[in-house]
């Protein structure tokens, strides 16, 4: 394999992407496929109707294990870094979590799975080195922190994902949303979660790098499964109201501002059994009780022009004082109209409120709407 330009890294599926005609672009330090021959719109619709296979091997995979051998010690240690209930997480279940900083901002969002004798974490690609250092600097005395650079990560998403994966791993059908299991798939030992980033049912499959391309090709050989690039991944997650770190979340954004209170269980809140104790706790706990001054909302532009990231928001067509800013935006192929997410001053966040977005010097009307834009189709029962 030849060296990547500008020292960009390549995932174990790079050769498969190029063989499939993927248009490769820089993303989070990697060469990744933004789309294939069908194009973003068709790839998006295919995932909603059938099944899409995504390469997310650029994400970070990390094991956290208590030095004492007691899983409860690892859970307590992780709770010093995240505001979620790790101790209450059942074995072979996964939970969305947030690394917070002392100002209450979000350092990264991640997934935490309880594997019985260790925790399995999946973190964002652009943050994985920082997250690894963060874990080691705070938990090294109590936990063994083990990155897994030799594992790839595939996401199989869409209403036909279960049928497709069950051809190689029938036990996947019994899994429910946020379940995690060890499954033997196409000759490889995999860690599989029933989760994803599209709003659809599906799976994320951690697999040894050496086995990743063979599994990806085996899945693509199944009728109804197609390779999907980053472009459709972004439009799918936007329709599903899911945040992209670095766009909708960053170190200046609190969980309450981001409308992620649901990720902070009652036990971690004031008067809870394991309240506080995480970075920025006082700020976050105060906002949970009293609210924040701004909030993440959905926006539906009234016209056909997408309102994209960076557009400032105003109360009317003449006002000079911005009341918010768009953080993600584009066209929603499923809903057939433009969609955006934005942070808006709390006085203007009620669904149905009309405000205006500045797009290249022109004020365009947009309407505040509830998130998500589509019905999420997770298999909960």
Give the pLDDT of the chain (381 residues) as one tens digit per residue: 444 556 899 999 999 999 999 999 999 999 999 999 999 999 999 999 999 999 999 999 999 999 999 999 999 999 999 999 999 999 999 999 999 999 999 999 999 999 999 999 999 999 999 999 999 999 999 999 999 999 999 999 999 999 999 999 999 999 999 999 999 999 999 999 999 999 999 999 999 999 999 999 999 999 999 999 999 999 999 999 999 999 999 999 999 999 999 999 999 999 999 999 999 999 999 999 999 999 999 999 998 999 999 999 999 999 999 999 999 999 999 999 999 999 999 999 999 999 999 999 999 999 999 999 999 999 998
pLDDT at residue 5, rounded to an integer: 56
pLDDT at residue 2, rounded to an integer: 45
Q: What's the CA dihedral at 108, 113, 114, 117 to 10 degrees?
A: -90
- The secondary structure of 240-300 as a DSSP string is TT---BTTTB-TT--TTTTT-GGGS-GGGSTTSTT---STTHHHHHHHHHH--SEEEEEEE
Q: Give whole-number Cα distances, 375 to 51, 176, 200, in Å.
A: 17, 17, 9
Q: Where are the chain's structural domains?
A: 1-291, 293-372
d(CA 157, CA 228): 10
Helix H segments across 221-280? Answer: 230-239
pLDDT at residue 112, rounded to an integer: 99
d(CA 238, CA 341): 8
pLDDT at residue 6, rounded to an integer: 67
pLDDT at residue 54, rounded to an integer: 98
pLDDT at residue 4, rounded to an integer: 54
Q: Which two tokens stand for residue 131?
A: 């997250």
Q: State which fold the 293-372 domain adopts.
A: Elongation Factor Tu (Ef-tu); domain 3 (2.40.30)
Query: Does the structural domain 1-291 have CATH classification 3.50.50.60?
Result: no
pLDDT at residue 83, rounded to an integer: 98
């Amino acid at each position: 394999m030849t060296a990547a330009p500008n020292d960009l890294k390549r995932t174990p599926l790079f050769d498969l992407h190029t063989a499939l005609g993927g248009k490769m672009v820089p993303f989070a330090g990697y060469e990744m496929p933004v789309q294939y021959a069908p194009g973003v719109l068709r790839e998006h619709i295919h995932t909603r109707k059938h099944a899409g296979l995504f390469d997310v091997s650029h994400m970070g995979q990390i094991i956290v294990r208590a030095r004492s051998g007691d899983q409860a010690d690892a859970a307590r240690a992780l709770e010093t870094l995240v505001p979620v209930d790790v101790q209450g997480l059942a074995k072979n279940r996964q939970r969305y979590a947030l690394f917070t900083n002392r100002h209450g901002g979000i350092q990264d969002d991640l997934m935490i799975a309880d594997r019985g004798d260790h925790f399995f974490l999946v973190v964002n690609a652009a943050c994985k080195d920082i997250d690894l250092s963060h874990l080691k600097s705070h938990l090294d005395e109590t936990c063994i922190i083990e990155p897994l650079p030799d594992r790839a990560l595939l996401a199989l998403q869409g209403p036909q994902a279960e049928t497709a994966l069950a051809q190689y791993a029938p036990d996947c059908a019994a899994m429910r949303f946020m379940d995690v299991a060890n499954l033997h798939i196409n000759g490889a030992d995999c860690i599989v979660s029933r989760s994803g980033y599209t709003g659809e049912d599906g799976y994320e499959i951690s697999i040894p790098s050496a086995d990743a391309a063979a599994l990806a090709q085996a899945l693509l050989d199944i009728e109804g499964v197609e390779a999907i690039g980053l472009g459709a991944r972004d439009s799918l997650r936007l329709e599903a109201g899911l945040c992209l770190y670095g766009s909708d979340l960053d170190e200046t954004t609190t969980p309450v501002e981001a409308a992620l209170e649901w990720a902070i269980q009652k036990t971690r809140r004031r008067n809870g059994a394991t309240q506080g104790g995480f970075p920025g706790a006082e700020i976050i706990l105060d906002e949970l009780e009293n609210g924040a001054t701004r909030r993440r909302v959905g926006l539906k532009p009234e016209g056909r022009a997408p309102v994209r990231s960076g557009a400032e928001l105003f109360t009317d067509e003449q006002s000079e004082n911005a009341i918010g800013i768009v953080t993600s935006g584009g066209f929603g192929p499923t809903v057939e109209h433009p969609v955006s997410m934005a942070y808006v001053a709390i006085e203007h966040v009620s669904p149905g409120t009309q405000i205006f977005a500045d797009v290249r010097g022109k004020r365009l009307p947009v309407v505040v709407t509830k998130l998500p834009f589509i019905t999420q189709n997770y298999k909960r029962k």
